[in-house]
Chain A
């Protein structure tokens, strides 16, 4: 009888050891503790004091270790300085963000979601939507958003400043050179052609936006009205955008009311 119980206890102990050697997550650690506890009680039952004490020691050490593991999990989030790598990442994107918002957008998604996993895909999209809806360039808005998520206001300030810094410095240098070399014919020619290319770029952006936002003739009317009043009547952009916004409130509110009635 005693022999059988002893064997059972031995088995329980071995099983616990087995799990312990393989896994380190909380669930399996709990299982190990339970198995060894059972084995300990069985040893006590049959009066095998030396084995029981051995297990007692093991369990004590084990609980301590487990305690430490849970402690580790509760470590505070990395501080401003520990996030240094992430800040330099924004600097890097700020340096290599040539080629407009779409290029930067892809770079950001790659770094934030895939490589560093700072943001989940949903978080990133949420940031993109915010950036799209609120003023300011979308890419910079996402950078600000990420910084804020990481470390509230200080994080937002650091990430935005670091992101804009390379362009800022380059622009100052170009502005200094500009005063000196603008009058030379070669530079004149380059600026002329770049200006033309930029015109094409702006038109393509406008066309892409039109394609995305046009849902009916109402939108088209507002668009043409905005274009005309800005170009011909020189109305202030603040007034134009505000009026269009108010029109949006009225029109879309009615739409929603109609849908509700149905």
Chain B
């Protein structure tokens, strides 16, 4: 079903998304030092994208090559990565990272006592090593989150 409609779907997203962003360009600041202004270039790009999207909607499929349907489970893995990204600031790198590694490892390798032990060792070694390299050697300040000392 999606095979024949994927380009049309992309076209639809381009037309709707492009139009919304085109409309958004009217809220840009007006600058008096350049007659072309802030919106000049984005409007050219958006205009071409909207035109391409409209063509895709009218044309339908561009070719009948091999089609790979997106797999829902892949988005579940992305959700785990996304949760790690979102939670890193509030709970801190040193808590979020081992939790993420154990969760991701078990979701890939399956639940078993052996896998749990392996995941815990991996989490401890990997978190410690990356923390040492980035925080201590390269002086990158990771978010401390829950481990931050109260002022």
Question: Is the A/B pair a real complex?
Answer: no
